[in-house]
Structure 1
Amino acid sequence: MNTQDYLERIRYQGPLTPDLETLQALHEAHMLAVPFENLSIHYGQPIVLNEEVLYNKIVSRRRGGFCYELNGLFAWLLRELGFRVTLLSAGVANQKQDGGYNPDFDHLTLRVHDLAGSDWLVDVGFGDSFRLPLRLELEVEQDGADGHTYQLIEEGDYWILRQRDGAGFEPQYRFTLQPRALSDFNARCHYHQTSPDSGFTKKRVCSLALPDGRLTLSDLLLITTLQGRREERSLSNEQEYVATLAKLFDITI
């Protein structure tokens, strides 16, 4: 890995000391620079969970990706900078299952160890989610720097990440602290690329955090959220879609 090229990709010019302040700055920079997107699935580009392949896609070709790609590559960068990182398997909350969760390995998230007296939940691959790492501490409400409050609770063998929704909390995903390897996610990654039951095969999505909101392109629907105000605009055709990807997300397929 050329760490300098990666840091330029996420427009990061700050300190590189492996401490909490650096982790927070890298996390937010990544969210603001690298889109969450599933376009490879819709353009016949196989997603291979290999660090060198992911680096070529996200850094060299300036693309985005989904959780396995974004968090898998970010973990490599953090290790290169001296952080201790563990890959964790998670199951995303599935409202269609009446409060249930998708299977393990449905999502890849990260644990960064021993900074400022704690371990941290790190995730640059869950789309519209917390922009700053969350302390791995139960029952504590934490500001995600994205306009939402988060809390971790424990149920059996699982930790549950919850986001405040009105007066209560809604589950986002559940995970264990068992260390995983990137290759452990191959089967579920293949499922999300090929199964008609996967949300990723149903429509194209490209989404990027802004300093005061978020841009999302969902098929031909462009959603702009700024300071809590949401606007939607339908694109007219595929030509405008391609032009919007290039202009707003700096992505060329």
Structure 2
Amino acid sequence: MTSAQVDAYLRRLGITRPQKPTSEALRELHLRHLRTVPFENLSVHLGEEIVLDETRLLDKVTEARRGGFCYELNGAFGTLLAALGYEVELLAGRVYNEEGRLGIPYDHLALRVRTADGDTWLADVGFGAHSHCPLAYAERGEQDDPAGRFQVVEAGPDPAGQGAGDLDVLQGGKPQYRLETRARALGDFAAGAWWHSTSPLSHFTQSLVCSRVTEDGGRITLSGRKLKTTTGDGAKETRELETDEEVLKVYRECFGIELSSVPTVRNPDRKG
């Protein structure tokens, strides 16, 4: 990653280059990322190929001023952190569904980050509504965050005897995803990204989403034509946008995304 690319990324986040790769600087970078770079799956429905290449990911965030889903967001963020002097490792995860079953291998990408002050963190700017700040990787007790109470716990083996040494990440006591602790390369996630962007069984092909954290600690989410806002104190409002002009205005003014036409779900039918 060149110095110019680092500067462009930091301009997108609205932050100056940290003097040292400290834990405090990581927390600010993490929160700024969640506030400025949306979690979105528009590429899936716009017919845009998702390529897990560092240059392509950086260009999407800095030049196109877009967001992405976990592979893109954490892939790009990990590249930035490494360029700033952090020690970064990519971790593969499997996401729990509503029934408590785990998804496909390489279902999720998260980051293990070591700082100059000797701390190790679980950073994740690509899971949608999740922790606003990095979680202490080695801490097994509950961790309070503006987004709720989180915990990183030892997972234990599954019924087939697999997964010993894995970690479960919990929010409000409910498992969100399971992480392997072995470091991976960005290319390892290509099959997962392909599946999520093409399979009719993937929730990313079934719906549109564009979401980010707001300055007051709440969240704004556009799902198709449904706009949902939650304030930092928990107040919620949901409304249906009636015209294409309203939808495009929200993409532009709330997420910084310029579109020429309103995206629509390309693969709405789930086939078992």
Shorter-chain TM-score bucket reads over 0.9
Residue 61 of structure 1 is matched in structure 2 by: 64
What does 1:220-239 correspond to in 2, within 5 Å?
Answer: 220-226=225-231, 227-239=233-245
Q: Which residue does the alignment assign to 1:152?
A: 152
Counterpart position of 2:182: 178
Query: Which protein is richer in strand relative to its size?
Result: 1
SS in 1 for 2:182: coil
Residue matched to 1:24: 27
- Give CA-to-partner distance per residue, 1:124-146, whole Å, 9 cap, x none: 11111111111112431112232
Q: Give the Å deviation of 1:103.
A: 1.9
Hey, what's the Cα distance between the residues in 2 that align with 1:78 and 1:145?
Answer: 22
Q: Counterpart amino acid of 2:236?
A: R
Deviation at 1:118, TM superposition (A): 3.2
Q: What is the rounded CA distance, in whole Å, between the counterparts of 1:144 and 1:181 in structure 2?
A: 29
Q: What is residue 267 of structure 2 aligned with on the other side?
A: none
Q: Within the alignment, does 1:199 sit opposite 2:200 as a pair?
A: no
Q: Structure 1: how far apart are the matches of 2:139 and 2:102?
A: 20
Instruction: Identify the range of structure 1 (16-25 vs 68-77) with the bigger mean alpha-carbon deviation.
Output: 16-25
Which deviations, in whole Å up to 9, do the C-alpha atoms of 1:134-167 show, x marking residues without a partner? 1112431112232x01011112221000011xxx
Q: Distance in 1 between matches of 2:214 and 2:89?
A: 28
1:84 corresponding residue in structure 2: 87
Q: Does 1:211 align with 2:215?
A: yes
- What is the CA–CA distance in structure 1 between the aligned matches of 2:73 and 2:21, rounded to whole Å? 20
Conserved in 1, the CA contact under 8 Å of 2:22 and 2:115?
Answer: no
What's the CA shift string for 1:22-56, capped at 9, x where partnerless?
Answer: 11111111111100000011011111100100111
Letter in 2 for 1:162: L
Q: Percent identity?
A: 43
Q: 1:225 to 1:30 in 2, by over 3 A?
A: same
Cα contact 2:73–2:125 (8 A) shared by 1: yes
Query: 2:49 is paired with a residue of what secondary structure?
Result: coil
Distance in 2 (CA, whole Å) between partners of 1:81 and 1:184 is 23
Indicate the residue corresponding to 1:132 in structure 2.
133
Aligned partner of residue 131 in structure 1, secondary structure: coil
- TM-score normalised to structure 2 length: 0.87
Q: Secondary structure at the match of 2:55?
A: helix
TM-score (norm 1): 0.94
Distance 1:151 1:243, change over 3 A: same
Where 1:177 maps in the other structure, the secondary structure is strand
Once the two structures are TM-superposed, the CA of residue 237 in structure 1 deviates from its matched residue by 3.0
- Please state whether the residue corresponding to 2:105 is helix, strand or coil: coil
2:96–2:103 CA contact under 8 A, matched in 1: yes
Q: Assess, with a 3 A threshold, how the Cα gap between structure 1 residues 115 and 136 changes in structure 2: closer, same or farther.
A: farther
* Structure 2 residues without counterparts, runs of 5 or longer: 157-163, 260-272
Secondary structure of the 1:140 match is coil
Contact 1:133 1:144 in 2 (8 A): no
Structure 1 stretches lacking a partner, 5+ long = none
Q: Matched residues in 1 for 2:10 and 2:185: separation? A: 24
* CA–CA distance in structure 2, aligned partners of residues 91 and 59 of structure 1: 28
Amino acid paired to 1:250: G
Alpha-carbon deviation of 1:78?
A: 0.5
Query: Aligned with 1:95: secondary structure?
Result: coil
Could you tell me which of 254, 258, 269 is aligned with 1:252? 258
The AA in structure 1 aligned to 2:114 is H
The answer to whether the Cα contact below 8 Å between 1:91 and 1:174 also exists between their aligned partners in 2 is yes
| C-alpha distance in structure 1 between counterparts of 2:200 and 2:245, whole Å | 26
Instruction: State the distance in 2 between where 1:74 and 1:14 align.
Output: 14
Q: Tell me whether 1:3 sits opposite 2:6 in the alignment.
A: yes
Residue of structure 2 equivalent to 1:163: 171
- Cα root mean square deviation, aligned: 1.3
